[in-house]
Amino acid sequence: MRIQIRAVGKLAVPKDGTLANSVVYAASDEEKEEQTAKTNISDALDSTFRPSIKVDLDAYRPEVRNGAWYVSEVDFELIATGCGVLGTGGGGLTRHKFLKSLDTLRKSEPGRLRIISPKSVKDGNLIYLGSWYRISSVINERIASGDETPAGIDALMRILSQNKPDGIFTDEM
């Protein structure tokens, strides 16, 4: 039998150099029940990672207003499925990026994430390229934190003395 353990992040070493107390205290079942907070789940069968599961896809239409496509969770699922079927140009599996996209969308303000036509960009607009290169087998072994591209864009804004870009161009979906 082989056991392999990987740790990500910095090792937390106690300042005084001693190990923490390793004594484990057991609680009775009654104590555990009293201490555990009860969480109500509206429907445990609802998938948090399959937004389209209760959507009529034949009737579904993306939200497009004033030349902007306001991407939804269902849109992300359909894009990821399409990229997986059609191929991703060597980018590897689409599931990881789909889950990261869902997380970004859920943490963003409503209407913040949208896709526009390049024709709507004015000549003076500052558009940043958000991209990074990797080998698909490595990305599956070492999952990115999600901060790599935003950190690069932040560094570029500091170098150019800009507050924010007018848009971000990505070379892959």
Residue 61: predicted pLDDT: 95
Does residue 24 sit within a domain? no
Would you say the pTM of this structure is higher than 0.75?
Answer: no
Phi first, then psi: what are they for 108, rounded to 5°?
-85, 160
**Is residue 21 assigned to a domain?**
no
| pLDDT of res. 98 | 84
pLDDT at position 130: 73
The answer to whether residue 83 sits within a structural domain is: yes
Number of domains in the chain: 1
Report the pLDDT value the prediction gives residue 133, as an integer from 0 to 100: 63
Which pLDDT value is given to residue 70? 93
Domain-embedded: residue 162: yes
What pLDDT score was predicted for residue 20?
55
Residue 77 lies in a domain: yes
Amino acid 75: pLDDT: 92
Walk along the chain (173 residues) and give the pLDDT tens digit of each residue: 677 777 676 666 666 655 555 555 555 555 555 666 665 555 555 666 678 888 899 999 999 999 899 999 999 898 888 877 777 555 567 777 788 888 888 888 888 888 888 888 899 898 888 766 656 555 556 666 767 778 888 898 899 888 888 888 876 65
- Domain that includes residue 140, residue range: 56-169
By three-state DSSP, how is residue 169 classified? strand
| pLDDT, tens digit (0-9, with 9 covering 90-100), for 81-97 | 887 777 755 556 777 77
Whether residue 164 is contained in a domain is answered as yes
Asked whether the CA dihedral 19, 22, 23, 27 is positive or negative, the reply is positive
Q: Does residue 82 lie in a domain region?
A: yes
**Residue 102 located in a structural domain:** yes
Q: Determine which helix (DSSP H) or strand (DSSP E) holds 171, and give its type and residue range.
A: none
Helix locations, 16-72, DSSP H: 29-35
